[in-house]
Amino acid sequence: MGLLRKIRTTGRVAEPAPPRPEGQVQPSARQLGGSVQVRCVDAGSCNGCEIEIAAAFNPVYDAERYGARQVASPRHADVALVTGPVTRNMAAPLRRTVAAMGEPRLVVAVGDCAINCGEFAGGYGVEGAVADVVPVDLAVPGCPPEPEAIVAALRRVTGR
């Protein structure tokens, strides 16, 4: 009964949807038609971006209302959210993950490290930015990026 009362008193926590983000819907994402399955790949991040991604899917930002959902297998996914500079050990797994996704597929680089290796540029264990390993369709800058930015990027893919 406690939970029921909590549900009643809390009500809706999702913030009102911000206006649709600027910029075109990704051309390759048009076929997706408002449904995007997301697979996260941590290619060597400090886990700051992971926390923000988790926040983007929480009840407050609720990325799910725009049609994005996280899935357990890259076979089910349309979008790979890649975070962190790609370390040497994660380069091959990242390639395999993207290859396992069926066409049409997109890769979204989340965070400064994913875009240009950020703080870790030139590190001995770093292979390079995500774009050096797999073709990147969208980038979300920030260290770490705010959940709004991640949600906005996902909305440019779902088109909703």
Partner 1 sequence: MSAIPAALATATALAATGALAGLGLPYRLRVAVVGVLTAGVGVAGGTAGVAALGGSRWRAVYSGLVPLAGAHVAVDALAGLFMAVAGAVLAAVAVYGIGYATGHGAHGLGSRTAQAVLPVFALSLVLVPVAAAVSTFLLLWELMALTSLFLVLAEHRGGHLPLGRSRERGSPSVRQAGTWYAVMTHLGLVLLLAGFALFAAQAGGETFATLRAGAHGIPPTVRGLVFVLVALAFTSKAGAVPLHAWLPRAHPEAPSPVSALMSAAMVNLGIYGLVRTGLDLLGGGPAWWWLGLLAMGGASAVYGILQAAMASDLKRLLAYSTSENMGLVLTGVGASGLFAAHGDKPLAALALAAALLHVVNHAAFKALLFCAAGSVLRATGLRDLDRLGGLRARMPVTAALFALAALGAVALPPGNGFISEWLLLQSLVHGLAVPGVAVAVVLPLSVALIALSTGIAAAVFVKALGVGFFARPRDERAAAAREAPPLMLAGMTLLAAGVVALALVPGLLGHGLDRAVGAVGLPGSGALTWGGLGVRLTDISARLEPLWVVAALTAAIVLATGLPRLYGRRRRRVNARLWDCGGGAPTPRMTYTATSFAEPLQRVFDDVLAPEQDVDVTPVRESAYLVERVRFQHRVPDRIEHRLYEPVLRALASTGRAARRLAGGSVHLYLGYGFAGLVVLLLALVVGW
Partner 2 sequence: MRNTIGYAAVVGQVVVLAAGAPLLTGWMRQVRARLEGRAGAGVLQPWRDTRKLLRKEPITPVGTGPAFRAAPALLVATTVVAGALVPLLSTDTPVSGHADLIVVVALVSLGTLALALAGLDTGTAFGGMGASREMTVASLVEPTLLLSVFALSIPAGTTNVPAIVSGAIHSPARLASPAGLLAVAALAVAVLAETSRIPVDNPSTHLELTMIHEAMVLEYAGPDLALVELGAQMRLTLLLGLLSSLFVPWGIATGLSWTSLVVAAVLFAVKVAVLGAVLAAAEVFWAKVRLFRVPELLAGSFLLALLAVTASYFLNGAS
> Which parts of this chain interact with partner 2 (CB under 8 A)?
3, 7, 10-14, 17, 31-35, 37, 59, 62, 64-67, 69-73, 75-76, 78, 101-104
Among 17, 51, 99, 121, binds partner 1 (CB under 8 A): 99
Q: How far is CA 23 from CA 49, 67, 101, in A?
A: 23, 18, 25
Among 2, 5, 7, 103, binds partner 1 (CB under 8 A): 103
Residue 27 as a binder of partner 1 (CB under 8 A): the answer is no
The conformation of residue 56, written as its DSSP 8-state character, comes to H
Long-range contacts of 15-18 (CB under 8 A, 24+ apart): 15/60, 15/61, 15/62, 17/65, 17/66, 18/148, 18/152
Question: Binds 64, which of partner 2, partner 1, none (CB < 5 to 8 A, cut-off by type)?
Answer: partner 2
Question: Binds 65, which of partner 2, partner 1, none (CB < 5 to 8 A, cut-off by type)?
Answer: partner 2
Interacting stretch for partner 1, rule CB under 8 A, among 58-66, 96-104, 121-129, 142-150?
A: 96-104
How many other C-beta atoms lie within 10 A of the C-beta of residue 93? 13
For residues 28 to 67, the per-residue mask of contacts with partner 1, x marking binding by CB under 8 A and - elsewhere, is ----------------------------------------
Among 14, 17, 54, 92, binds partner 1 (CB under 8 A): 92
Among 75, 123, 125, 132, binds partner 1 (CB under 8 A): 75
140 vs 110: CA distance, rounded Å: 5
The conformation of residue 125, written as its DSSP 8-state character, comes to T
Nearest to 158 by CA among 16, 36, 27: 36
Instruction: Tell me the two tokens of residue 65.
Output: 């209302």
